[in-house]
Each structure stands twice: as C-alpha cells, then as structure tokens.
Structure 1
Amino acid sequence: MMNSMTYKGYFARVEFDPRENIFVGRVLGVSDRISFHGDTVNELTDDFHQAVDHYLEDCAKTGRDPQKPASGKLMLRIRPEVHAAVGIAAAAAGKSINQWVDEVLARAAHA
C-alpha cells in the first residue's frame, strides 16, 4: 500500500500518528515545509488541498515562483557498461534512451 497523495502536481507522504490518533502528511520535493493533517481520509485530503492552495497563494502574494517537485530533467551517473546496455535495450525497442528510460522508471516507480 502506498501512503501518498497528489494534488496540482505536488506529492505528499502520509503517515498515521498513533499518539495523536491523526493522519499527518508532508509535501515532498520542495524545500518549503508544507504539512497537513486530518482525523479522517476526507479531512486529510481537504487539508492537503488547502495547504497546497495556501502555498501557491502565498507565493503569488510575495512575488516568488512556487517550487515544483520535479523539472523533468534527471542527470544520472552510471557505469559505462550499464550505459551501453541501456543504449542497446532502447535501440532494440525502437526508442531513444530517454523514451526507454522514462518507461522503465515509470514502471518501477509505480510497482
């Protein structure tokens, strides 16, 4: 089971706090701390949406660009033999390395 949520391109990890008997979440991938909580899944979801909306409104009011969790660019350092094998696998699939890696990483991330 994955303990995550997504809203407007922002991803959050959710945990249950047994001491407080509430769900607690935190948005991942941005340096600003965006957290939220709720007693029920519906309250948690509502508070998550409100927290992201508040963050975006605050960024607009202060004239700063909101951070996004990812740019879509990923720089990797891998062993040359892995790089060669990736190139061969991509070519065999009739795809560019970027296309092939995108598909492989998407499958792995959603497994």
Structure 2
Amino acid sequence: MNEHIEYKGYKAKVTYSKEDDALVGRVMDVDALIMFAGQSVAEVKAEFHAAIDSYVEECALHGLEPEKPFKGSFNVRVGCEAHRKAAYKAKAWGISLNEFVRVAIEQAVDRHAQAAAVTTVVKAPIATNDQLYVPVGVASARRVAPSAYGRSH
C-alpha cells in the first residue's frame, strides 16, 4: 500500500510495515524527520494530524519557524534586463519563461552539487614534460611530478 495523505499543507507517505504489522507514515518534503503509525486508516490519519500539530507546537516552544513543504512556485525579482534576455532566449528555444527558469535553476543546482562532490581537472599548459596538473580542489590545481603516481612520460 502506497498512499499519500495531507494535513495543513504537509504531505506524508504511508506504507504497510510487515514487521510491525502496522501502517507507518513519514512526512515528505521537509528535512525534519516526522513519523507516525497506526493500526487502521483512521488511526494513522489521527496520528499524522497529531504529529504535525506536535511538530508545529515544538517549533513554537523553541522559537523556531516550522519547515513548510515547497510548493514548487515562487516569485523572483531579476531586474528588467535579465527578464528581457531570459524571455527572448526562452522564445528562441521554443519554451516558456517558466520552463527556461526551471531548467536554469536545475543546471545551477546540479553544477553546484557536482562541484562540491567532484574535483575538477584544470586544463592548462604544462610547463615541462616532467610535470602535469592534477586535481586538488574545485578551483585550484598544483603541479606534481608524474612519478608521484607511478607514471613516466
């Protein structure tokens, strides 16, 4: 059983746990781990409501703003020139401005994720035949002798 339920803008996925012989739910689209369980649909819904209410109350008690699930839409102020350029580029590509912005955001997020996880080889002229550039970080490179890697060129 895979079912999504919603309460106060929060969505949860409910599955059947064979080990626990219960319906178990987890709130989606927030970093906070909010889980609940019940033996029946009515009980799991009540526990979900109680879990959300408790989460919101705990946040208030500690002076924290509760996480809100992302809706998938937001307003962005980019300035007239950037707006014009983006609109013309989207039109040239045959897509909507919303689609253009969505793609741009996905590419920026993917680039950032890759840069954080993977080092980049910097392609630059090699000064001598006995040195080469190797990756040491996202935005830097250093020279090392090929023998450091057991290579001879």
Q: Does TM, scored on the shorter chain, surpass 0.5?
A: yes
User: Which segments of structure 1 move beyond 3 Å, counting only runs of 4 or more?
Assistant: none
Comparing both structures, which one devotes a greater share of its residues to helix?
A: 1
Q: TM-score, normalised by structure 2?
A: 0.49
Write the deviation string for residues 42-99 of structure 1: whole angstroms up to 9, x where unpaired.
000000000000000001110010000115339xxxxx88x82323xxxxxxxxx44x
Alignment-derived partner of residue 84 in structure 1: 93
Map of 2:110 onto structure 1: none
Could you tell me how far apart the structure 2 residues matched to 1:4 and 1:68 are? 17
CA distance in structure 2 between the partners assigned to 1:22 and 1:42 by the alignment: 12
Say which one has the larger Rg: 2
| Amino acid paired to 1:20 | D
Could you tell me which residue of structure 1 aligns to residue 40 of structure 2? 40
In structure 1, the residue matched to 2:10 is 10
Give the Cα separation in 1 of the matches to 2:57 and 2:15.
26
Specify the SS of the correspondent of 2:68: coil
2:53: which partner in 1? 53
Aligned pairs, number: 85
- The CA RMSD measured in Å over matched residues stands at 2.7
Kindly indicate whether the alpha-carbon contact (under 8 Å) linking 2:12 and 2:27 is maintained by their aligned counterparts in 1. Answer: yes
* Matched residue SS, 2:94: helix
Q: Which has the higher relative contact order, 1 or 2, with Cα contacts under 8 A spaced 6 or more apart?
A: 1
| Corresponding residue of 1:73 | 74
Identify unmatched segments of 5+ residues in structure 1. 75-79, 88-96, 99-111
Percent sequence identity is 36
The TM-score normalised by the length of structure 1 is: 0.66
